[in-house]
Chain A
């Protein structure tokens, strides 16, 4: 079973950027598609995008296109999600959710989440 460790909580000012990391324990990291999902307080889940590290292939949700960038470092088995031009509406818990297979699918694995608070 892959273990996932996400970076710690962040507090950011409006207009700034945040970068959240997700480190995987397994050597099979490179065969996973790393998805990112966020959840605003009291709200539902929102898929943000995914990256396939071994291919460098990235797909983003249309609603976040241009503000979100996904990267990955296969040598450290770490995936990153950077979100720019933050507003209060970006206050949320951000989860990484790796899955095997390169098509869209369900998520059996989840990180513990990283709380990002945007406040002046």
Chain B
């Protein structure tokens, strides 16, 4: 099974600051990588697919990069509505997810 590892587990960021989240795959997944945002009591919301393509309606401050085994989600200037948990998911094989990175207010 493809294992996805996210780091850090928790990221403390002040509003307006840049946030950088990492996701590593146990073997290459090419560009078959998605990112989701999840808030308490809600279903995940797709942000990025194909490692770097923003989903419909996602603000430009969200960007994804990487390929193979190393991926990054960057939020250029954190807004209050961006706090929550972020999950990465590979779909090069049957889907597997990372354990998430919680972005909290510093």
Contact = CB atoms under 8 A, between A and B. Distances in A.
Interface of A: 35, 37, 43-47, 59, 61-62, 95, 104-108, 110-113
Nearest to B34: A106
Given A47-B94, A95-B44, 19 more contacts: A37-B95, A43-B99, A44-B87, A44-B98, A44-B100, A45-B44, A45-B87, A45-B89, A46-B97, A59-B94, A104-B92, A104-B94, A106-B91, A107-B34, A107-B36, A107-B89, A107-B95, A110-B44, A113-B43
Contacts of B1: 62
A35 B34 CA distance: 16
Interface in B39-94: 43-46, 49, 55-56, 87, 89, 91-94
Contacts of B7: none
Secondary structure class of chain B's binding surface, majority of residues:
loop
Contacts, number: 53
Nearest to A46: B97
Contacts of B91: 104-106
A35 B43 contact: no
B20 interface: no
Most chain A CB within a 10 A radius of its CB, from B34, B87, B95, B97 = B95
Nearest to B95: A47
Nearest to A43: B99
A62 B95 CA distance: 12
Contacts of A113: 43
B49 A106 contact: yes
B93 A104 contact: yes
Nearest to B44: A110
